Amino acid sequence: MLSSLDLSHIARRAAAVGASYLSQTAVPAPGSWVSKSPRDWVTEVDRNTEERIREVLAREAPGSQVVGEELGPEMAHDGLVWIVDPLDGTTNFLHRFPVYGVSIAAQLDGELVAGVVHDVTRGLVHHAAKGAGAWTNETRVKVSELREPAPALIGTGFPFKHLDKADRYLAQMRRVIGATSGVRRAGSAALDLAWVATGAFDGFWELELAPWDIAAGIVLIREAGGVVTDPEGHPARAAHTALVAGNPWIHEWLLNTVNR
């Protein structure tokens, strides 16, 4: 029986294979980009990266299932399930904006137990396993200790796929901007959540995310001492959902602020 730490090691090896491929692959010409939905792109690079990741996971964890953004988007819950985003931040990658990563989480009988977010351009591997803490490479990380919003830096993501939520989101942003040191939108939710775990961001919220965007980040934040929930305050899970995350104090404030 593989432990959560074993699963984290497997995920790290699979993410490293994906990151290596991305590092060595030229950016496709714009004519080859395919729009999955307005403002949401996919290329052969995404698919090829996922195929390479799947090969590693199948070899090292026979009988497990893989839920990937590009090649298998249906969620599964029984047994060992890998939840994979082979290239989180595709638009950034296509424009050579250096914020994108590989995200892999292990879910065992519905419980998230391990997660890895591999920051491709920086060579940083954020990883966590249930009960083993959160780490960046070989350094243990924890969420920030800020207790007041005024000095806080908050990450976010725009509802670019669902513009019907824009007015609600902009009202939330006005409240957050008015009470904090700033808001950042880098374009990779997986890395945003990893940055909450490391303390670079004190909190994060977004209105629409997919399981593969958030699964690894949920494990990272919890193991780093943070809190991550849906907007109703229920513990976050790998699902299509809105998300609020942060250290315990900023999470509580942010949850109340976005729900005001």
Residues 138-192 pLDDT 10s: 999 999 999 999 999 999 999 877 778 899 999 999 999 999 999 999 999 999 9
The full length of the chain comes to 260
What does DSSP assign to residue 226? -
**pLDDT at residue 167 in the model:** 93
User: Could you tell me if 10 and 94 lie in one domain?
Assistant: yes
Contacts 24+ apart (CB under 8 A), 29-38: 30/94, 33/94, 37/161, 38/161
**pLDDT at residue 231 in the model:** 95
Stated pTM of the model:
0.94
Query: Coil, strand, or helix at residue 74?
Result: coil
What does DSSP assign to residue 145? -
Strand order in the sheet with 133-136: 65-68, 80-88, 101-108, 111-119, 124-129, 133-136, 139-141
Is residue 148 included in any domain, yes or no?
A: no
**pLDDT at residue 169 in the model:** 94
Listed in sequence order, the residues at least 6 apart from 32 whose beta carbon sits closer than 8 Å to its beta carbon are 43, 44
Q: How many CB atoms lie within 10 A of CB 189?
A: 27
Residue 207 belongs to what domain range?
153-258
Residues 91-124 pLDDT 10s: 999 999 999 999 999 999 999 999 999 999 999 9
User: Could you tell me if 171 and 118 lie in one domain?
Assistant: no
**pLDDT at residue 160 in the model:** 76
Is residue 71 included in any domain, yes or no?
A: yes
Give the span between the Cα atoms of 104 and 86, in whole angstroms: 8
User: Could you tell me if 100 and 19 lie in one domain?
Assistant: yes
Give the span between the Cα atoms of 126 and 191, in whole angstroms: 9
Mean pLDDT across the stretch 208-224? 97
pLDDT: is 75 or 97 the higher one?
97
Number of structural domains the chain divides into: 2
Q: Supply the mean pLDDT for the chain.
A: 94
User: Could you tell me if 20 and 131 lie in one domain?
Assistant: yes
Contacts 24+ apart (CB under 8 A), 156-159: 156/183, 156/184, 156/185, 156/192, 156/204, 156/205, 156/206, 157/185, 157/187, 157/189, 157/192, 157/206, 157/207, 157/209, 158/185, 159/206, 159/207, 159/208
User: Could you tell me if 124 and 189 lie in one domain?
Assistant: no
User: Could you tell me if 14 and 77 lie in one domain?
Assistant: yes
Contact 84, 68 (CB under 8 A): yes
